[in-house]
A and B are shown apart, each in its own frame.
Chain A
Amino acid sequence: MAEVRPDEISAILRRQISGFESEVDVYDVGTVLQVGDGIARVYGLQKVMASELIEFPHDVFGMVLNLEEDSIGCVIFGDYGLIKEGDLVKRTKRVASMPVGKEMLGRVINPLGLPLDGKGEINTSLSLPIERKALGVIQRQPVKEPLFTGITAVDAMIPIGRGQRELIIGDRQTGKTAVAVDAIINQKTTHTEEAAALGIKPVYCIYVAIGQKSSTVAQVVAKLQESGAMEYTTVITASASDPAPLQFIAPYSGATLGEFYRDNGMHALVIYDDLSKQAASYRELSLLLRRPPGREAYPGDVFYLHSRLLERASKLSDELGGGSLTALPIIETQQGDVSAYIPTNVISITDGQIYLESNLFNAGVRPAINVGISVSRVGGNAQIKAMRKVAGSLKLDLAQYRELEAFAKFGSDLDKATQRTLSRGARLVELLKQGQYSPVPVERQVISIFAGTNGYLDEVPVHDIKRFEKELLEYIEMKNPSIIETIKKEKQLSDETINALKKVITDFQSTFKKS
C-alpha cells in the first residue's frame, strides 16, 4: 500500500473541516431515568415518534416503543452498559430504518444492515423503514406463479406460490431449517439463462436467523456458499447472544429487504428462522417495558407482532410491476404441541403449513413431512399443469395408504386390493424421500411421481425404489431427453408425452436389475 504523506492527511482534514458548518444546532433531548436489560426509560423527548431512532451517548442507538404520559420506553440496540441514569438522549427524527439494495446480496448482516462477514462496507443508496404497513387489497393479485422448493413432497402436494406465506412447523431436530435451506438452494435454477428463456424470473433469497447459535448460522452460510446460493442470498442474523431488541426487529428487517425486491418488480423469498424465538424476545422486551402479560406471559399484541410481519408478504398487481415476496416462517413446537399460543397464531395467519414430525424423521422418512396434515391454501393455483395431473392421484394413494397403514401392522389375511394399496403407498413414501441439499427440478419430480402413481414401481422392491428412480431418470436423459425438455417447456403432460413416458419407462423396466 502506498504510504500516505502527512500533507495529504492534513489536506483531507482541511477539506473535511472547511465543509463543516458551525451553525446553531437545534435538537430535542430527554434524560435517562432508568436503564437496564436492553431497555431504557427516558423523561422528556416530548415530540418523539413511535419507533423513532434515538441517540444515546457513546454512539449507542435505541428505538422508541412506548409513549407514555411523561416518559417513554425504548429499546437499546447496543451496549446498554455504557448508558447511565441522567444521560442525555437525542432525537434523530427518523424512524428505525435499514439500507436496502442488491449490494446486500451475498452478505451476512445484522438487523440494522451492518455487515458481519468482514467483507467491508456495503454501499447502498437507499434505506427504508424497518416497520412498514402491509399493502392493501388493490395493490395485490392472487398468487399465480409457482415457487419450487426442489423437495418433491412439497412441490407435489403442498405447492408454494410466489407471494404466499407457508409455515414450516415442527419439533426441534425435524429438519425445518433443512427444508428452508433447500428452498433457497433450489432458487439457483431461477437465476440461470435457461430459466430466463422460459420466462421464469429470478428469486432473491433472504435468510433471517433469529436467536440461533452463531455456529449454526455459520454452517448455513457455508452450505449456501458451497452450493453457490449465496450469490442471490442475504443472511440477516441476530444470534442468541445479541440483545433482545435486535432479535425482535430482525424479521422486520428481512421483510424490508424483501419488499425492496418486490416493489421493484422482482421476486424474493424470505425465511424467518424462527418466529418462536422472536416472540420470546418480544415477550422479554414487553415484560421489561411493563406491558401487561397475557397467555403464556406473551403480551396482548403478540398476534399483531406476527400478523403485521407476515402480511407484508404479497404478490403485487401487474400495474405495480408484479413483484412478489414469499415468506416461509418457521415455528418450533414443543413435543408436537401445535395448540400452544404462538403456533396457533402463526398457523391462522399463514396460507398453509408444512408439518414436520419427529417420529417420521426417526423412521427414516426425510424430509419428515406429514403430508396428511400439511396444507397449502393458495399454492394449488400456482402449480404447473403437469404436476397437478400427477399429484392428484399421489395424494389419493397416500391418503388411502395412511388409512390402511394401521391394519398393515396385523400383517395377515388382507385382501388383494388392500395389499395393493399398502404396497403402492409404501413405495410412494419411499419415492418422496429425498436427501438434504439435493433439490430436484420439477420436470424430474413429475416423471418420478408419474412412474409411482401409474404402478410402474409396484413390482420394484421398496429398498430399490430410490435406485430405480435415479436410474430411470438417467435412462430417460440418455435415450429420450426430449421428454424432460417438453415437460419443462410446455409445463403440462400432453397425451403424446404420456405415451412417450409410458413407453420409455416400460423399456427401462425390462433392463432394471433388482438387487
Chain B
Amino acid sequence: MVDNKVSLRYASSLMQLAMEKKNLDILSRDLERIHSDLVSHHQLLLALQNPIIKSEVKLSILKEVWKDKVSNDTISFLELIVQKGRENLLQDIAAKFIELTNKHLGIVLVEVTAAGEFTPEQDKEIKSKLKSLLNKEVKVKYKIDDSIIGGFQARVGDTVYDATIKHQLEQLRKRFLEGNTLINN
C-alpha cells in the first residue's frame, strides 16, 4: 500500500517534468522499455531489490544496461531514484508512469482473452468496436486461454465485457438453479 503511493508520487513527478519539457513521447518510450526489460530480465530486478548490493554498484549496472538506449532525462531520473534508495520500486514506477501517460493521452488498456489466435480481420473489428464503445483510443493486449471454450472476454480496468461460452454456460447453470440459489431476490 505504502509502496503504491511512493511509486505514484515518483511517476507523477516524472510525468509533470516530461510535460514541461514536452518530451513525453520519448520518456514514455524509455519507461516502457525499462518496464519490459525488467519484466523479461528477472535477474536485474532481483539485483535492484537486493539490499546488500551498494547503490553505486546498482547505478552503474543501470547505466550500463540502458546508457545508449534511453534519453539523458531518463538516466538522470534513474540516478535520482537510486540516490533516494527507491530503486527496488523501479518496475512499479515505470508501470505507474505508463498508466498515467495512457490516461493523459486518452488511451485505455484492454485485455482481450480468447480461446485461440485472432485473425487480423477479427483483431481490427474488435479494436474498432471497443473504440466506439469506450469512446477512447484503445491499446489491446491479447491473452489466450482455452478454458473459456469459445467467444472472447474484454477487460477494461475493473469492467469485464464477457461473451465467452464458459460464462454463458455458467449463466445457464444459474438459471437452472433459480429458486434454489443461496440468495433469493
Stretch of B13-21, B45-53, B154-162 with 4 or more beta carbons under 8 angstroms from chain A? B154-162
Complex: A20 Cα to B162 Cα, angstroms: 15
A contact residues around B181 at 8 Å (CB): 59
A contact residues around B175 at 8 Å (CB): 16, 20
Complex: A25 Cα to B172 Cα, angstroms: 13
Instruction: Count chain B CB atoms within 10 A of each CB in A28, A59, A94, A99 and give the residue with the most.
Output: A59
B contact residues around A28 at 8 Å (CB): 158-160
Q: State whether A26 and B172 are in contact (beta carbons under 8 Å apart), knowing that A70-B4, A127-B185 are contacts in the complex.
A: no
- A86 → chain B closest CB, angstroms: 15
Q: Are B184 and A113 in contact (CB under 8 A)?
A: yes
Stretch of B26-34, B85-93, B135-143, B163-171 with 4 or more beta carbons under 8 angstroms from chain A? B163-171
Complex: A113 Cα to B185 Cα, angstroms: 10
Asked whether any CB of chain A lies closer than 8 Å to the CB of B105, the reply is: no
Q: Are B162 and A46 in contact (CB under 8 A)?
A: no
Complex: A60 Cα to B182 Cα, angstroms: 8
- B170 → chain A closest CB, angstroms: 10
Asked whether any CB of chain B lies closer than 8 Å to the CB of A114, the reply is: yes
Interface size of A as a range: 20 to 34
Instruction: Count chain B CB atoms within 10 A of each CB in A23, A29, A122 and give the residue with the most.
Output: A29
A contact residues around B179 at 8 Å (CB): 121
For chain A residues 22-38, which have a beta carbon within 8 Å of chain B? 22-30
Complex: A113 Cα to B159 Cα, angstroms: 30
- B92 → chain A closest CB, angstroms: 13
Complex: A87 Cα to B165 Cα, angstroms: 19
10 CB-based A-B contacts, threshold 8 Å: A16-B176, A20-B171, A25-B167, A25-B171, A28-B158, A28-B160, A29-B160, A53-B183, A59-B182, A70-B1
Asked whether any CB of chain B lies closer than 8 Å to the CB of A78, the reply is: yes
Q: Are A17 and B172 in contact (CB under 8 A)?
A: yes
- A283 → chain B closest CB, angstroms: 24
Q: State whether A114 and B182 are in contact (beta carbons under 8 Å apart), knowing that A24-B161, A26-B161 are contacts in the complex.
A: yes
Complex: A121 Cα to B184 Cα, angstroms: 10
Complex: A44 Cα to B160 Cα, angstroms: 12
Q: Are A44 and B158 in contact (CB under 8 A)?
A: yes
Chain B: which residue is nearest A127 at the CB level?
B185
A contact residues around B183 at 8 Å (CB): 53, 61, 112
A→B interface (CB under 8 Å): 16-17, 20, 22-30, 44-47, 53, 59-61, 69-70, 77-78, 94, 97, 99, 112-114, 121-122, 124, 127
- A111 → chain B closest CB, angstroms: 11
Complex: A127 Cα to B183 Cα, angstroms: 11
Q: Are A27 and B160 in contact (CB under 8 A)?
A: yes
- B29 → chain A closest CB, angstroms: 28
**Shortest 6 CB-CB distances between A and B: which pairs?**
A24-B163, A25-B162, A44-B158, A46-B158, A28-B158, A99-B184
B contact residues around A59 at 8 Å (CB): 181-182
Interface size of B as a range: 20 to 34
Complex: A27 Cα to B157 Cα, angstroms: 11
Complex: A16 Cα to B179 Cα, angstroms: 14
B contact residues around A17 at 8 Å (CB): 172
Q: Other than the known A25-B161, A25-B163, A28-B159, what 4 A-B pairs have Cβ atoms closer than 8 Å?
A: A20-B168, A29-B160, A44-B158, A47-B158
Contact of B162 among A27, A30, A78, A113 (CB under 8 A): A27
Complex: A83 Cα to B71 Cα, angstroms: 47
Contact of A26 among B4, B160, B182 (CB under 8 A): B160
A contact residues around B176 at 8 Å (CB): 16
Complex: A46 Cα to B155 Cα, angstroms: 14
Chain B: which residue is nearest A78 at the CB level?
B182
Chain B: which residue is nearest A99 at the CB level?
B184
- A118 → chain B closest CB, angstroms: 14
B contact residues around A20 at 8 Å (CB): 168, 171-172, 175
A contact residues around B171 at 8 Å (CB): 20, 25
B contact residues around A29 at 8 Å (CB): 155, 158-160
- A349 → chain B closest CB, angstroms: 31
Complex: A30 Cα to B155 Cα, angstroms: 11
B contact residues around A94 at 8 Å (CB): 185
- A22 → chain B closest CB, angstroms: 5
Complex: A61 Cα to B182 Cα, angstroms: 8
Q: Are A26 and B158 in contact (CB under 8 A)?
A: no
Complex: A121 Cα to B181 Cα, angstroms: 11
Chain A: which residue is nearest B4 at the CB level?
A70
Complex: A445 Cα to B181 Cα, angstroms: 49
Q: Are B185 and A26 in contact (CB under 8 A)?
A: no
- A38 → chain B closest CB, angstroms: 15
Complex: A27 Cα to B158 Cα, angstroms: 8
Complex: A97 Cα to B155 Cα, angstroms: 29
Q: Are B162 and A24 in contact (CB under 8 A)?
A: yes
B contact residues around A70 at 8 Å (CB): 1, 4
Q: Are A26 and B184 in contact (CB under 8 A)?
A: no
- B161 → chain A closest CB, angstroms: 5
Complex: A369 Cα to B136 Cα, angstroms: 71
Complex: A99 Cα to B181 Cα, angstroms: 13
B contact residues around A45 at 8 Å (CB): 158
Complex: A47 Cα to B157 Cα, angstroms: 11
Q: Are A26 and B162 in contact (CB under 8 A)?
A: yes
